[in-house]
Amino acid sequence: MSDDLPGDDTSADATSTARAGDSPADASADRDGPAVDDLCRFIEASPSPYHAASEATRRLTDAGFTELSLGEAIPAEGDVVLRHEGFVLAWSRRGQAPATPMRLVGAHTDSPNLR
């Protein structure tokens, strides 16, 4: 009987990019490199809550979101981002109400403070 968890594939096929002497983290880095690299770039660009909000807003506008100013009218449809100091709020409004409930995601830009 194996102690492996369901979905925990540590077979030779799953770690075929690992070399002798590599740690599991090294093998994971081979698979997750782009995501890890992107996270490192985000952290590097975000030494303070203000910078984290600015970088998140930049990434959202690069993805097609429209940045609004505080007090500006909210359009009936579209992808929108609102930033003020270390605060970011982004949402997408497209056509009819979705058949599934709204999903909200929250995060802190002040903890941990990466300065």
What is the number of domains present in the chain?
A: 1
Tokens of 1: 């009987």
With beta carbons less than 8 A apart as the criterion, state whether 81 and 57 touch.
yes
Tokens read off for 72: 């500006």
Whole-model pTM above 0.85? no
Does the residue 68 lie in any domain? yes
- Residue 32 in tokens: 């997750």
Question: Is 29 part of a structural domain of the chain?
Answer: yes
User: Tens place of pLDDT for every residue, the chain, 115 residues?
Assistant: 444 444 444 444 444 444 555 554 555 555 678 999 998 999 899 888 899 999 999 999 999 999 999 899 988 788 999 999 888 999 887 767 777 777 778 888 776 665 5
The CA distances from residue 107 to 36, 87, 96, in Å, are: 18, 10, 28
Cα-based angle 96, 97, 102 (whole degrees, multiple of 5): 150
Domain extent at residue 33: 24-93
